[in-house]
Amino acid sequence: MAIRSFFLFILFFSSSLSPVFSLYEDQVGLMDWHQQYIGKVKQAVFSSQRAGRKRVVVSTEENVIASLDLRHGEIFWRHLLGADDVIDGIDIGLGKYVITLSSGGSILRSWNLPDGQMVWESSLQGPKHSKSFLLVPTNLKFDKDNVLVVFSNGRLHAISCIDGEVLWKKDFEAESFEVQQVIQPPGSDLIYVVGFAASYQFEMYQINAKNGELLKHESASFSSGFSGEVSLVSTETVVALDSTGSILLTISFQDGKISSQQTPISNLVEDSLGPAVIIPSSVSGIFAIKTDAVTVFIRVIGEGKLEVVEKTTHEIAVSDALSISEDQQAFALIQHASSEIHLTVKLAHDWDGNLLKESVKMDWQRGLVHKVFINNYIRTDRSYGFRVLIVMEDHSLLLLQQGEIVWSREDGLASIIDVTTSELPVERNGVSVAKVEHNLFEWLKGHMLKLKGTLMLASPEDMAAIQSMRLKSSEKSKMTRDHNGFRKLLIVLTRAGKLFALHTGDGRIVWSHLLRSLHKSEACQSPIGLNLYQWQVPHHHAMDENPSVLVVSRCGPSSDTPGVLSFVDTYTGKELSSLSLDHAVVQVIPLPYTDSTEQRLHLLINADKHAHLYPKTSEALSIFKREFLNIYWYSVEDQNGIIKGHALKCKCTGEVADEFCFDTRDLWSVVFPSESEKIVATVTRKLNEVVHTQAKVVADQDVMYKYISRNLLFVATVAPKGSGEIGSVTPEESWLVAYLIDTVTGRILHRVTHHGSQGPVHAVFSENWVVYHYFNLRAHRYEMSVIEIYDQSRADNKDVWKLVLGKHNLTSPISLFSRPEVITKSQSYFFTHSLKAIAVTSTAKGITSKQLLLGTIGDQVLALDKRFLDPRRTVNPTQAEKEEGIIPLTDSLPIIPQSYVTHALRVEGLRGIITVPAKLESTTLVFAHGVDLFFTQLAPSRTYDSLTEDFSYALLLITIVALVAAIFVTWRLSERKELQEKWR
């Protein structure tokens, strides 16, 4: 009986310790996190519904339409439109439909406001390309049907708000006519279309809103021409600037007759230098112009007379007009002043009176206010209150109300352009691995809940409690390094020029910094961030030096504009220093050398093909000179179809002479004929990739040696006709060619042609193999091909004793200038999905099996074992090949639902996948970014070198104690039974 109880006890505890290899509901969020964003807001419309939850509908630069909760800023719903379907305008119709105009004014859609479901879609075509305008009049009805007015593609449309039917349309076919405003006066059945023709003539069309009939057409010539934006100051008056920006034109078309008045800017702004610019707004009777550092607000008084009401030197932002009653309009004005912003709400007809005046403290790291949107509400005392939505320079979104920031969203993270990682600080007082339980009751309760979860007896409330306990007890969010290397900082650079440090444990923002070097200035008019590089990674000085990153940017979109370098501490986010360069930055080459402070050497190549060494120190220069002859790099000219190899020549001569500047020389070039091939993809190995072994043991104990070279480049070219959309050419007109090129000698090591195929091409290079994805026109399916390259010369001598004695050819030096004896193995497979990105897992020692991470068109990340892309797969593998792990050949690659790294989540607008090795060899860290962010840990060969994070050490200790007690009890019972038998 005792022995039976003992075995039942063992079975009970072993069931609670059984390993689990799948992801259960209570494990979500322990090793991964997902964050949703929308991007920089372009337009915002507040919902006017009195019942239900208050919301604001926005469109963004990331092509997102979203409905946000006004109380907390959370996303109710959102839709990401295609890259070619740019949103031109949004509005709310009938109080329950979100109306969007997109794709250059070609597509009009209606969405249900509460849940975001699409109600209808209309395609709008026209005779020519033009600006697009969307109007949702509140009082324009035909037969009890509210009407939308859309101008797009040179045509004016009246469209039913209920079903999207086009009621009438009117063409404006004049080639030189450029529409500037479409106006529908309240309470009128007229529509005015005004614009410029031939850049010097003002055109006005008066249209009957009920049937589209042209009622009147007037034009007036202005010899000085027009430039810039046109501002609407009333339903029948606009203001514009002449082509020089020095004369303000007030144009009225009252009763269909055009009259104008010209006012020199110098009459309004004294000592104005340079051309003026109109600040767009829709406030009745008031507009603003900006000259140099002065912003002037001007009121239009009857018959075109102008009156300056205020001048300011502060940076300002103005909202559109908000109707608060039948005859009153309000607007918001924001001015910057050091660490505060001043918010003022004024009536359009009363500049001196303020409906609201508040000051709000603002973090300077957010930059300037770029856009303002205003909304009103009724207070309990029946007075008007106002809430203001502002878009900042760093693309963040904030709601201001009653002098406070109600909520904020860091939507700059939706536009990440580069990512790198940084280790966390070392815990100086020692790492504590012991967990002290504060309360015995809580300890017992926690283990009972875990036991119920293991036995699947837990209720939903219990599952929530388990999840909360695990997140609370987890060490993943500490700000120090862990021995497994799971805790790191993700340093990301956004399009706004802001750096963020994200903790890999829970995704929180540790610090953020809007780089001063990326602020607009006289010397740098249009700063653009380019890339991030590891600058200083202390290993020997980890206790007294902080790591830092290098941010490379330039002062304009052109590659020949001057560059800017910024050096940022990754622990604090402090910008250590910045350099405004006197040369451009076309290419950055991180060198595999560091100085005594562990700063990494970099070469910056400018537009004149001069190489500049950084850091500019004597020590770095001496290290560089020792390796002068071993430095090679390549450049790719996509447009010209040329790939060139370069090396250093000598110190710079002439005006750019500098001891840190070097002339370069061209070593080789590969020219692809423009009539037959166009470069569409190039990829090389990661600089920090670790290869565990060069030898690969194949069937029958034979050995193949991987051709491992950091100088190997994969290039994909397609026929010029095949570089367009999929299906735009026939299979006979398109082909794809893949190359493997040595970038030191320019030697083409392998070339393969895929007839009847076209791009886009996505590729990844790892160790000695490359995998690339493309479209097969003949099969009407996507394909993935793999090429593996092996060094045949290293496999000639297999004498083990020579290897031990150092006389084997594996130990002999390798020169890329001697022609290598290589062989390649390749294979192609069909694949179901189109891809947006492709990456490969990376581990600390390179021992763990590789997995391909595929960013699918559905914005998910799929993990595919590299064994499925083994070129040695056959239909009937031998027994030896089966033992090696070779999978039988099939024509298609499998898609296993459980292999989706993102589970049921979507990384909207997926753009890139980054993999980072952890210290634990079995585990790799994966970061996917787009409009959303997603992070997780992967174990391609399972966690063979560690216990799971939620492993119960206390339960193991109890089990051991129970086993010892059971053994002692069993031994005592056995002794007693034996003694009784002897007495018999």
Q: Half-sphere exposure of residue 782, counting CA atoms within 13 Å on the CB side?
A: 17
CA pseudo-torsion sign 19, 24, 26, 27: positive
Are 148 and 159 spatial neighbours (Cβ–Cβ below 8 Å)? Answer: yes
pLDDT of residue 750: 93
Are 305 and 249 spatial neighbours (Cβ–Cβ below 8 Å)? Answer: no
Q: What is the C-alpha R_g of the chain?
A: 34
pLDDT of residue 784: 95
pLDDT of residue 306: 84
Where in 242-314 does DSSP place strands (E)? Answer: 247-252, 259-264, 277-279, 286-291, 294-301, 305-312
Count of CB atoms situated within 10 Å of the CB of 292:
13
pLDDT of residue 50: 65
The burial class, CB within 10 Å (0-12 / 13-18 / 19+), for 163 is exposed
DSSP letters of 753-797? EEETEEEEEEEEEETTEEEEEEEETTTTEEEEEEEEEEESGGGS-
pLDDT of residue 264: 83
CA pseudo-torsion sign 134, 139, 142, 144: positive
Residue 565 to residue 524: CA distance in whole angstroms: 13
Structure tokens belonging to residue 764: 């990844």
Structure tokens belonging to residue 169: 């349309």
Residue 225 to residue 246: CA distance in whole angstroms: 12
Q: Which of 646, 647, 637 is nearest to 671 (CA)?
A: 637
Grouped pLDDT means (10 residues each) for the chain, 984 residues: 44 38 47 92 85 84 94 93 90 90 92 93 88 83 77 90 89 81 84 85 87 87 80 85 84 82 81 76 84 83 79 85 82 86 87 86 89 88 87 93 91 94 77 39 69 72 71 68 88 94 92 86 80 88 84 87 91 90 90 90 90 91 90 91 91 74 91 91 90 79 83 93 84 92 92 92 94 93 94 64 56 63 91 93 91 93 93 87 85 90 92 93 93 93 74 82 93 88 80
Predicted TM-score (pTM) of the model is 0.86
Report how far apart, in Å, the C-alpha atoms of 788 and of each of 692, 852, 906 are: 17, 15, 32
